Amino acid sequence: MAMGDKMVERTYKYRLYPDREQEEILNRTLILCKNLYNVALDQRKTFWQVDHESVTYKKQADELKDIKTHHPEYNEVYSQVLQDILRRLDKSFRNFFRTRKGYPRFKSCRNFKSFVYPQSGFRLDGNRLKFSKVGNVRIVLHRPIVGKVKTLTVKRYPDRKWYAFFVVGIPDSPVPNYEPKNPVGLDAGLTNLLTLSTGERLGNPKWFRESERRLARAQRELSKRVKGSKRREKQRIKVARLHRKVRDQRSDFQHKLSKFLVSKFDCIVVEDLKIRNMVRNRCLSKSISDAGWNELYIKIAYKAESAGKWYVRVSPNGTTQDCSKCGTVVPKELKDRTHVCPSCGLTMSRDLNASINILRRGLKSLTESRLIAIPLEQRKSTLVETSPSAGSKNRIGKAGQRSEKPPSLDGGGSRIIIL
């Protein structure tokens, strides 16, 4: 498939292993960047309150030379890193004036976690990453970088681990010019993470629930430590590592699952869920956050885009209530897990019924938007082939799964279309 002229960005994440001296330099760089951010923010607030005069990025960037003269410690930080700090503050103010939400706040050492080399000042040399003003830091390149590197972000996580993020530009893939032969609809849930329109059900690992006891015990120990003591800091790192492990487990599972779905299907249709509103339900907020639907959909989206396959998001309104066979609206409460249609007599799982409706809605949207041209007969035949009947035992096992299972999931030119 020929590549397009448009460039898209991808981010590669790698682990850094600085020695003790390099880690002290990196920590000192973060402190200096944090101080510069706070001073620049204070200058903007003071000028506005006293003189009602706005301070621009250009004006603050021109003062960096004077700052380095009066405060020689800032000569230890690469110049473009300091410029990016001021640019970050300017962006925060622009976002605030555009949305009137999230006024920039002063940063503490714990809240300021990263600094950026926007253009230059770094170079890869084998298993070493050379930073300007820092030195050669060991890096684990577990996969090659494909594309032109644009920026480098160095970030310290709460568990004191350091990572490098390379933002690269790669050619964009064109819009698929073929009709999807093997589409699938996905319905997200809590008991089963995903229910496919093919009848497969993928279980929800619930990583946070599994580690909840250990996290609670570790956080109780943290609350007993004296603030500012070394023992408290050690316990804080233990808690951060437990949270990090849960996040890594979830991310690893999502990567494997998204790769399986993209490799098996050429069109993936999902619901455009308003997860921010859903987590307001205090009875389900923890389970919804633990499921990580949004992160999973993001991984499916960019993998589908890279593979030149369709990824479609449709409105979730009515996907659960509508009958997938005759279209009759069958009201259900959250506790009702079986769809029983009084008109046509269709009886099947509530989630399976929703996934079939999601698939049908996605194919219809693609056709109406003239991105593809699928005849009505072909759309109906596709739904019949991918939607097993309620009594089909040879295709679905006792647990509601097909005999073909995703690989390694027990342990853990395309276009993104939002319709």
Residues designated as active site = 187, 271, 351
| 294 phi, psi to nearest 5 deg | -65, -45
Please give the distance of CA 99 from its chain centroid, rounded to a whole number: 23
For 400, phi and psi rounded to 5 degrees? Answer: 85, 20
Cβ atoms of residues 132 and 121 within 8 Å: yes
Which string of b and e fits 94-113 if b means at least 16 CB within 10 Å? eeeeeeeeeebeebeeeebe
Torsion angles phi and psi, residue 79, rounded to 5: -60, -40
Say how far apart CA 90 and CA 94 lie, in whole Å. Answer: 6
Q: Which amino acid is at 6?
A: K
Tokens coding 359: 């698939």
How is residue 109 written in tokens? 């050492």
DSSP output for 162-208: EEEEEEEEEEPPPPP-S--SSEEEEEE-SSEEEEETTS-EEE---HH
